[in-house]
Amino acid sequence: MKLSEAKQQFISSWGAFGTHWGINRTMAQIHALLMVSPAPLTQDDIMEQLDVSRGNVNMNIRDLISWGLVDRVILAGERKEYFSAEKDIWKVATQITRERKKRELDPMLKLLAQLEKIDGDRKNPEVKQFVDTVGNIKKLGLQADKMLDVMIKADENWFLSGLLKIFK
């Protein structure tokens, strides 16, 4: 298989993969393209290579920057802005984890803590099942939260070489 073909396939699969995780296709594709590009690209490069509009590229790049996955790069003597993705996959993974935790897990845990404190007789099966379920989800969520915190702080080597042994 040739590079151009493989690249196309990688970008398109990464896009499809992203949609299963609540990320829009173009955003995932731009990310994929930048990850396999050794040099920074301009909006026009991206528009051309992915065949999408300027506005679309602009919005999704902005989003990727807000996720901390892409950086604006100013090349000396160039008027245009260039964009470059974080290439260290471990950093990409921890960054995504960090953001999703902040945006989704933390607010959910806050809500669950509220819902646990409802009025009502715990002998009532409806009440009991509700409190139990919410409580258990919260418990699991708190564990996940702690685990993710540790992972975020851990460095790649520790994960790649160490974690495996612990889990084996």
Partner DNA sequence: AAATGTTTTCAAAATATTTTGAAAGTTCAA
Partner DNA sequence: TTGAACTTTCAAAATATTTTGAAAACATTT
In whole angstroms, give the CA distance from residue 109 to residue 113.
Answer: 6
43 binds, among its own copies, DNA, none (CB under 5 to 8 A by kind): DNA
Measured from the CB atom, the residue of 78 and 155 that comes closer to DNA is 78
In whole angstroms, give the CA distance from residue 40 to residue 34.
Answer: 7
Q: Which two tokens stand for residue 133?
A: 């379920």
Stretch that binds its own copies, among 20-28, 50-58, 60-68, 69-77 (CB under 8 A): 20-28
Told to check if 33 binds DNA by CB under 7 A, we report no
Told to check if 94 binds DNA by CB under 7 A, we report no
- Compute the least distance from the CB of residue 68 to DNA, in Å: 16
In whole angstroms, give the CA distance from residue 120 to residue 103.
Answer: 31
Specify the DSSP element, H or E, that contains 62: helix 54-66
- Residue 138, phi then psi, degrees to nearest 5: -60, -45
Told to check if 39 binds DNA by CB under 7 A, we report no
Told to check if 35 binds its own copies by CB under 8 A, we report yes
